[in-house]
Amino acid sequence: MTIAAPAPRTSAAPLEVKPSWRGWIHAATTPITIAAGIVLICLAHHAAAKTGAAIFMGTSILLFGNSALYHRFNWAPRTKLALKRVDHANIFLLIAGTYTPVALTMLPLVWEGILVLSVVWAGAIAGVFFRVFWINAPRWLYVPLYLVLGWAGVAVCAFSGFNPFISTGAIAAGILIAVGGLFYTLGAVVYGTKWPGRAAKHFGFHEIFHAFTAASFACHWAAMLVLALHPPFNA
């Protein structure tokens, strides 16, 4: 009489079935971001513009690079959770990083730039801690926080003396920043509502969200290039 050996137990989680495009948009955007960052920093007109450009590009590369790594592959549960924390925290950093060159080049007085930087970076740091330590927060709570910080920066800039009509370059940059913000907002709505659903085989709501973020980055990079070449202030 033989006794069948018990089936070996495994702790491996089943592989997640992702749309075929998952992660590829940000994977393609990452090397473009690196090249665009080098160009932007090299063309920046002065030290303040170079500093702002470097911070903007650093936070952009961090977001797109980690996002591509996180979304493209199937990871072990602990690794996946760590990458998810970084991925969600990076959104707050990119918001603050985008406002940094604006504060350094488009505000007439030093204290105004300091005010904007203080508000957006304090909000970003608080957001980073929030997503790192409460990664399972409901989507209806943390998605609006991204939008609040993003548009709060606009309000603080307006309060601090931001004047997009100070020069033709500032007008162009202001329009590009606004369009980029609109793309981010539309992407956040798609992500928050999961429209048009999670059943897509190739291109689902998450891919639409990533496409909006890439388009927004393109707008903001163009705006930062205008500011780097023709800074209205702090020259």
Q: Which residues are annotated as a binding site for Zn(2+)?
A: 71, 206, 210
CA 92 to mean position of chain CA atoms: 7
Packing angle of the helix pair 168-193, 205-229 (nearest 10 deg): 170
Q: C-alpha distances in angstroms, 11 versus 8, 14, 77, 164? A: 10, 9, 10, 57
With a CB cutoff of 8 Å and minimum separation 6, the contacts of 82 are none
Tell me which DSSP letter residue 46 carries.
Answer: S
What is the radius of gyration, based on Cα positions, of the chain? Answer: 20
Both tokens of residue 27?
């994977």
- Residue from 205, 155, 213, 157 nearest 185 by CA: 213
147: left (phi over 0), alpha (psi -120 to 50) or beta: alpha
Known binding site: residues?
Answer: 71, 206, 210
CB-CB contact of 78 with 36 (8 Å): no
Packing angle of the helix pair 139-159, 168-193 (nearest 10 deg): 170
